[in-house]
Amino acid sequence: MIDFNAEIISGFSLGNVRLNENISSYTNEIYSCFDVEVRSYSIPDGSKNNAYILNKTLTIATNHDGFVFSIGCNQEYKGRYKNILHTGQSMKEIIALTERLRIFNGSVIIDDDFGFSLILPSPYDEIADSIENIPNDIIFNQIYVSDFSMWRSGH
C-alpha cells in the first residue's frame, strides 16, 4: 500500500513504491485512492517518460516502458530517511544530522549515499557550487530516491 508516512529507503523505495517496479503494479491503487496528475515529457532519444503525481505529494517517474526510475516527495510527505531526515528541514539541521554533504546537479547528496537526494530550492539549485554557498535557514522541501551513482563518476 502506498503510504505517505512510510520510511524513505535509499535506492529502493519511497511511499512504499519501489524503484524498478512497473507502474502497472500500482495503477489500480493510485487511481482508486489518490488524485493523480500525469505529466509526459520527451527525452533526447525521442521516447517519452511519465511522472505520476499523487495528491500533489508523491511523484513517481517512469521510463517509456513504465518502470519506476525515480520517486520524489514534497513537504506534505511525513516519512523519514534513516529515521532522521525528512522534508521541511533546514540546512542547519541537515548539517547537524549528517557527516558529509556534497552538491551534484542541484541536489545535496548525504554521506555519499547516491540513492537519496535533497533537492536544493531555487535559486541555489542553479548557483550553489559548495555547501558553504547554502544559507543555514534554507528549507529542503523535496526529496528523491533513485540511482544517482552516475553523478559520482561524472558521467
- The pTM assigned to this predicted structure is 0.92
**Where residue 128 falls among pLDDT bands split at 50, 70, 90?**
confident
The string of pLDDT tens digits covering residues 12-32 is 999 999 999 999 999 999 999
Q: Is 33 helix (H, G, I), strand (E, B) or coil?
A: helix
Range 105-135 burial, b when 16+ CB lie within 10 A, else e: eebbbbeeebbbbbbbeeebeeebeeeeebe
**Secondary structure E strands in 43-91:** 48-54, 58-62, 68-73, 89-90
pLDDT at 154 over 70: no
Backbone angles phi, psi at 114, to 5 degrees: -90, 30
pLDDT at 155 over 70: no
Give pLDDT, residue 153.
Answer: 67
Mean pLDDT of 115-121: 95
